[in-house]
Amino acid sequence: MSSMSATSAIAPTLNTQSALVLFSGGQDSTTCLAWALSRYQRVETIGFDYGQRHAIELEVRPALLEKMKGFSADWQVRLGEDHMIDLSLIGKISDTALTRDVEITMQDNGLPNTFVPGRNLLFMTVAATLAYRRGLNVLVGGMCETDFSGYPDCRDDTMKALQVALNLGMATQLKVETPLMWIDKAQTWALAESLGGQALVDLIRADTHTCYLGERGQLHDWGHGCGTCPACQLRARGYEQYVQDVQNTASKKIG
Ligand SMILES: [Zn+2]
């Protein structure tokens, strides 16, 4: 009787709402997809081709989606259509290190030149438009304020304001969910483990793409990538911390 609350805290009840996940093929969005698949009975995915240098992340998506379906009979049924949207205009109207072959540097305004102005605002707006047509009522994104690069469009306030603006502008009741907003990279790995066990951690390690320079190269402990760009460093540090946390927990149990 009293154990019910403990059980429900571990296994979230399946929500009758349906979700559209912003899915790039990276670590964060793959974890968000697993999070959505464990909560909503129908889940679709959206990806954007905006002329990113790391377009390889778009190439890993189809195989990754197939493997996510293979995780369980439930996920197989829940994971629906994938939508790839051409947003190449972002590359045409902005000048950033993610869309041009220039060195990654810090700008005078305190933001790295990997910041693509308006990117997440545009992504969410386009996702909301698609969700409207598809009858999906939750938008899920991997925005994170904890160890981000200072990108203002990853802030919780930005996403909250955008949710209000979208619903006002479209007369909808869309919900914007950002499950990674207040956790760091190590906790993101731990979240993946809690959702899909070691198998999901291994899948994310080997099959997702994070490197800004689009390099696959050798498989490191933390995954593929150049190992030196800010995205690779963040991912590698997070993985090391996660492994350390797991070991500390294990030794505490033994002790
Ligand atoms: Zn890299």
What is the rounded CA–CA span in Å between residue 74 and residue 72? 5
59-99 pLDDT tens trace: 889 999 999 999 899 999 999 999 999 988 887 777 776 66
Q: Is 28 exposed, middle or buried (0-12, 13-18, 19+ CB in 10 A)?
A: buried
Helix (H) or strand (E) run with residue 177 in it: strand 175-177
Q: How many structural domains is the chain composed of?
A: 1
In a domain, 35, yes or no: yes
In a domain, 61, yes or no: yes
Distance 33 CA to ligand 1 centre (A): 23
What was the pLDDT predicted at 1? 39
Distance 53 CA to ligand 1 centre (A): 11
CA dihedral 89, 91, 95, 101 (to 10 degrees): -160
Distance 234 CA to ligand 1 centre (A): 10
What is the rounded CA–CA span in Å between residue 159 and residue 37? 21
In a domain, 67, yes or no: yes
What is the rounded CA–CA span in Å between residue 216 and residue 209? 8
The domain of 178 spans 15-184
CB 137: neighbour CB atoms within 10 A?
Answer: 18
In a domain, 224, yes or no: no
Helix (H) or strand (E) run with residue 113 in it: none
What was the pLDDT predicted at 10? 46
In a domain, 85, yes or no: yes
Please state the pTM of the whole predicted model: 0.87
Distance 176 CA to ligand 1 centre (A): 29
In a domain, 169, yes or no: yes
In a domain, 21, yes or no: yes
How many residues in the chain? 255
Q: Which band of pLDDT confidence, cut at 50, 70 and 90, is reported for residue 53?
A: low
- CATH number, domain with residue 75: 3.40.50.620
In a domain, 1, yes or no: no
